[in-house]
Structure 1
Amino acid sequence: MDIELFMPTELSIKDKNRTIKGKVVRAAIFAKSKVVDVVTEDHDSYYFIYYKNSLVYGNKLEKVENGTFINKAFNEGLVINAPHPLVTALIPNLSLSIPNKNKLFSQLETHHSLEEIAYIATTLDSFFEKDQLIKIIDNFYFHFRRNGSFMKSFQVIQILHDFSPVLKSAQERLNLHDFHKYRDFYQTSHLPSILDKDPLFVEIQCFKDRFNPEKRIILEDILSKQDSLVELLLWLEDAARLQKVQSIKKYTASALRFVTMEEWVQILAQVKINPFLELPESKGILEKMIKNGHYERAALTLLNFIADLPASYDEILSKIWRNSDSRFVIAHLEEFISLLKQLPEGETPKELDQKIFQIVVVLLERHGLKSVYEKLLPIQNFNLDVIRKIGKMVELLEDPDRMMELGDYYAEFKQYDQAIDCFFWEMELQPLNPSPVWKISKMYQFKGMVKEAVTYQKIYEQLKDHQEIS
């Protein structure tokens, strides 16, 4: 058993005359563009491209081809997997209408510059033929050339060359004598100098190489002036990668514009940044979760930080331990074992034994006896009856003369099939002994298999009568 910390982001998609419901699977940011991956109720995959927070285009795709912008965004971009509260913040409108494909570029001209549209065209290669997009970008290039805007025409041909490096005409035009000074400017100038003349180029270059410290500083500066949400996600990506906690208070203030404090604490916990050391409010968030009965949600928020929690968290740990479902504990067994080692002394051996017993019952349903024993090795020194019994059972596995005893232990842990196997072994060794037959009957009774239980009950009575006559 496991739980999700966050609710999924649901979208309503209007496609011609029908409305389709879907859930966001993931989103990717690549410079000024975003891609949102949505799976519908019919298990179709829709992809939507955004530019500067505005929907550009989207539609159903059977497959995302290698080399396309969507493929690059999910492999090289900043990816947020759903469910995640910041996914919802990334999508301006949760009701989408698929734009008219035939009118798309004429509509884009009312909102964006031609240089921007040239770049936007390169993001749409999953929906348009590449040659068609190249022709559109070419038209922008020639438009600027005819009007004497050589700098802009050079910028467009750079976009085209990046989009299709094998296109011979793009390479030839980049090397034209008319573009010599612009080519030198881009090749010899530092990015801050280029920023004023071509901010789109600089942002894309810095985003592509965002783990370069110098380019990251430039990118952060750009984002701080235009998109605080992407700046926040960029910090989270770096913090998760390097386990950095610098500026956590600054980005907490930014995050609270998009999510609640509880969601922010959980987001930090997901990327393994300890909010309980950095944000005093975090403890109150946990206490509120526990008060509302959300023990497992609280556990997911703090389990990665057990070793760093002060003694003031002992009561919280104890409540989480006592109230978490056994299957949930098993799904996070290693972390819960760390929790056990820090439990306050008020946890009585009897209470602990009962809880471990419940966990062992589930473990034995999923794993062999020896595997269960190994999983419990870290708490062997807790001096619990249940641990001693598991250890005894492992010893009995190697002793065929004591299968009845092993079967009794299995029965105690509600593992009726294994118990039946043990009692069958004993019944074959002692075919006239009614005791293992009686136990087999009881096991089938516990399993709810009435017919089998009655059958073995009759055999037991016959053996018992025969034993009394003898």
Structure 2
Amino acid sequence: MKHSTITVVDGKHPITLQVKRMVIYLQSKIIEAYNEHGEVYYCFFYKNDFLNVKKSTKLRLHSHMQKAFQNGQLYEAPHPLIDLILPTNRTLKSITFKQLFSKLETKYPPVEIARVATFFESFIPQKALLKLIQTKYYEYVRDGKMLKSYQVIRVLLNFAPKDKWVKEFANKLEYYKYATLYKQLDSRLFMKDMIFAESEWFLNMKEEENFKQLITFYEKENLKADIISTHIHAFLMEPTNEQFHMLLQSLHEIFSEQEIVMILEDINQKHSNFSPIHHFLLNFYMENNELERAIQLISSYPITFTHSQLKQLAIVMESIHLEETAVSPHNWHHILIPIYESNHQQLDKILHRYVGILLESYDLPFATQWLEPFQQLNLHLPIIAKVKKMGMLRNDPDQQSLLGEMYYQFHLTERAIECFSWEMELKENDPRPVQWLAKIYREAGQMHEYKAYQQHYMNLQNGAS
């Protein structure tokens, strides 16, 4: 995944912009980006072609841009679809609109140039755009292509419906038969006016045939981003296993596994209760030892694990220790319970280890509370009884030696030393806490302390005899 920055060349000065989001809407792609001063730039694409990039202050009401951000499919940066649209060097050049439309003349038919012109309503005065689109209209009229000329009129009706010229020409007698065809949604139009067809298919995408026609159209045009975005749009409208399968199939044709995961994570944020996505993400996280992301997923959504996933989780847990991750201890039980619930002995062993780790940083009441989800399993685990007993002993001055032994079993030498030292002060003639202190210091390699306590222990033994 690339960084969410692009370079815009405006004149001779390159400007670095931070990409915020992109919208895909009816073959147009608009990327919103900001400079260091918070000024917004919009980068326009049509089909697979970059058009222009311009700085803006606001969007005009009812403009193509406003409709795109309202009705199109939005993608927050970073996102693989944004990378797919941008050129490899992520550098875009701002040109004059005169230069842009001169370039378009060599690539697109007049009706599509008219359509593209409406993208820039927030940047070019409406009268200037109207004049440009009118020239496209007259190109068709001169060639005797009356249906094509009416298609340009329809572009104008969407763009400037209140304009006197537009209303007058839209109501010309020679266009009556075409207006009737559009009003009746005549099937012949879906072959002759692809702007109209695309819009109708998009608006009625819930109907399977319209969805298929839209995908087929984009496939013929080789519009990969539009294909993916349409699959995402359809899935979010109706999340079914069939839609998910088609989406995955289209993603695998274009993106790497890591990019597919990013796309599915984004979809999951928008529609979080579709379990096949959870399982796909979980499998990826576990196969790539991304335990933190797996736990975050497990703790956020109710997931029923397959036998295979539980086996994989157990393997992952053998190589990763939870205390070495950034995962909060509060979430550890979400992964420990499903993995080890059926293996009581192993669960008790694992919990013994993690209780010891917790007690290095937390007190006994915290450990007791942390064990509550495991206690609710009613498995009568020895570790739970042990921690409960330690909780009782911590406030009993006569039982500090026993508490020290239990801390020692968790390899918590400092706490064990505190307990044995307390016991030694209370029971000056008892050699047992002294013997424990000598043992702990010897094992810790602190030979000076070991020798002192060992001598004290021997003195107590001799005195007793």
Question: TM-score range, shorter-chain basis?
Answer: 0.5 to 0.7
- Partner in structure 2 of residue 45 of structure 1: 40
- TM-score by structure 1 length? 0.67
Report the alpha carbon displacement of residue 91 of structure 1 after superposing the two structures with TM: 2.3
Greater RCO structure (CA 8 Å; 6+ sep): 1
User: Shift in Å at residue 154 of structure 1?
Assistant: 0.7
1:199 alignment counterpart: 194
SS at match of 1:223: helix
Q: Secondary structure at the match of 1:67?
A: coil
Residue 220 (structure 2) aligns with: 225
1:165 Cα offset (Å): 2.2
The equivalent of 1:349 in structure 2 is 351
Alignment of 1:246-285 (within 5 A): 246=242, 248-272=244-268, 274=275, 283=283, 285=284
- Residue of structure 1 in register with 2:400 after alignment: none
- Displacement of 1:174: 1.5
| 2:310 corresponds to | 314
Name the SS for the 1:254 alignment partner.
Answer: helix
Q: For residues 276 and 137 of structure 1, do their structure 2 counterparts lie closer, same or farther at Cα, with a shift above 3 Å needed? A: closer
The answer to whether structure 1 residue 139 and structure 2 residue 135 are counterparts is yes
Residue 376 of structure 2: SS of its match in structure 1? helix
Equivalent position of 1:396 in the other structure: none
Unmatched segments (≥5 aa) in structure 2: 269-273, 392-465
Q: CA 1:67/1:187 → structure 2, altered by over 3 Å: closer, same or farther?
A: closer
In structure 2, how many angstroms separate the alpha carbons of the residues matched to 1:150 and 1:358? 83
**Displacement of 1:201 after TM fit?**
1.7
What is the DSSP-based 3-state SS (H/G/I as helix, E as strand, rest coil) of the residue aligned with 1:106?
helix
Cα 1:201–1:325 shift into 2, 3 Å: farther
Identity percentage of aligned residues = 23
CA–CA separation in structure 2 for the residues paired with 1:196 and 1:120: 20
Once the two structures are TM-superposed, the CA of residue 118 in structure 1 deviates from its matched residue by 0.5
CA drift of 1:34 comes to: 0.8
Counterpart CA distance in 1 for 2:91 and 2:263 is: 25
Write the deviation string for residues 266-325 of structure 1: whole angstroms up to 9, x where unpaired: 43354345558987x984x434421xxx43344456666662221332355464684377
- CA-based RMSD of the aligned residues comes to 3.9
Please tell me the residue identity of whatever aligns with 1:222.
F
Secondary structure of 1:123's counterpart equals helix
1:53-64 equivalences in 2 (<5 Å): 53-64=48-59
| 1:126 and 2:122 correspond | yes
For residues 78 and 99 of structure 1, do their structure 2 counterparts lie closer, same or farther at Cα, with a shift above 3 Å needed? same
Q: Which residue of 2 aligns with 1:289?
A: 288
| Structure-to-structure mapping, 1:100-111, within 5 angstroms | 100-111=96-107
C-alpha contact 1:326 1:358 (8 A) present in aligned 2: no
CA distance in 1, matches of 2:296, 2:81: 18
Deviation at 1:98, TM superposition (A): 1.0
Instruction: Tell me the CA shift for residue 31 of structure 1.
Output: 1.0
Does the CA-based 8 Å contact 1:24-1:39 persist in structure 2? yes
Distance 1:282 1:245 in 2: 17
Is the contact made by 1:276 and 1:309 (CA closer than 8 Å) also made in structure 2? no
Q: Which amino acid aligns with 1:242?
A: E
TM-score, scaled relative to structure 2:
0.67
CA separation of 1:377 and 1:53: change in aligned 2, threshold 3 A: farther
Q: Distance in 2 between matches of 1:355 and 1:245?
A: 43
In the alignment, the residues of structure 2 paired with residue 76 and residue 276 of structure 1 have an alpha-carbon distance, to the nearest angstrom, of: 24
Deviations 1:393-448 (A, max 9, x none): xxxxxxxxxxxxxxxxxxxxxxxxxxxxxxxxxxxxxxxxxxxxxxxxxxxxxxxx
Among 123, 143, 155, which residue is 1:159 paired with? 155
CA–CA distance in 2 between the matches of 1:120 and 1:217? 25
Task: Determine which of 11, 17, 25 is the counterpart of 1:30.
Answer: 25
8 A Cα contact 1:287 1:316, kept in partner: yes
2:108 to 112, 117, 125: 112
Alignment partners' CA distance in 2, 1:18 and 1:379: 62
The 1-side partners of 2:178 and 2:362 are apart by 72
The amino acid of 1:351's aligned partner reads: R
